[in-house]
């Protein structure tokens, strides 16, 4: 069995954001695969952030955002403890991450993930055996000359 994959908030948000059809389809396909293979993880923080963005920036009704969270919770939901928050603070200090990004990295590391899907951190960056992968990087159109 392969190591599980951790999904950051932006993947969930893009799955509902019709303003970028390419990123939306990339996010949806990734989530479908992780749900089908039961190989995805996310944290309570990711679910909370998704609700805030979905009902704010995306304009989703709270009832619709709640339903999406019910679906996303079929992935393995990671819950952090105080020791994890302290470890995230150390990541924040050592790697100049925001505390929110450090909490995501900590949740991914402590849950045994080797890959973190996010566009919020540098593609290819590594933290304690965890590699950051921007799932939208290949989906971006080439820059025009």
pLDDT digits (tens, 9 = 90+) for 42-63: 999 999 999 999 999 999 999 9
Dist CA 65 CA 44 (whole Å): 14
pLDDT digits (tens, 9 = 90+) for 74-120: 999 999 999 999 999 999 999 999 999 999 999 999 999 999 999 99
State both tokens at 56: 């704010």
**pTM confidence score:** 0.90
- Candidates 79, 72, 83; CA nearest to 43 is 79
- Candidates 144, 102, 100, 93; CA nearest to 127 is 102
- All domains of the chain in start order, with CATH: 5-133 (3.40.50.1010)
């Amino acid at each position: 069995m392969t190591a599980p994959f951790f999904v950051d908030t932006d993947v969930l948000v893009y799955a509902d954001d019709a303003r970028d059809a390419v990123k939306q389809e990339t996010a949806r396909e990734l989530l479908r695969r992780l749900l089908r293979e039961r190989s995805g993880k996310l944290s309570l923080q990711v679910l909370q952030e998704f609700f805030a963005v979905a009902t704010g920036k995306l304009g989703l009704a709270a009832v619709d955002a709640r339903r999406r969270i019910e679906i996303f919770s079929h992935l393995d939901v990671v819950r952090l403890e105080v020791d994890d928050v302290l470890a995230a603070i150390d990541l924040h200090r050592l790697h100049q991450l925001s505390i929110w990004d450090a909490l995501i990295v900590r949740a991914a590391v402590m849950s045994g993930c080797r890959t973190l899907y996010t566009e919020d951190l540098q593609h290819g960056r590594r933290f304690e055996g965890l590699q950051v992968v921007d799932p939208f990087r290949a989906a971006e159109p080439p820059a025009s000359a």
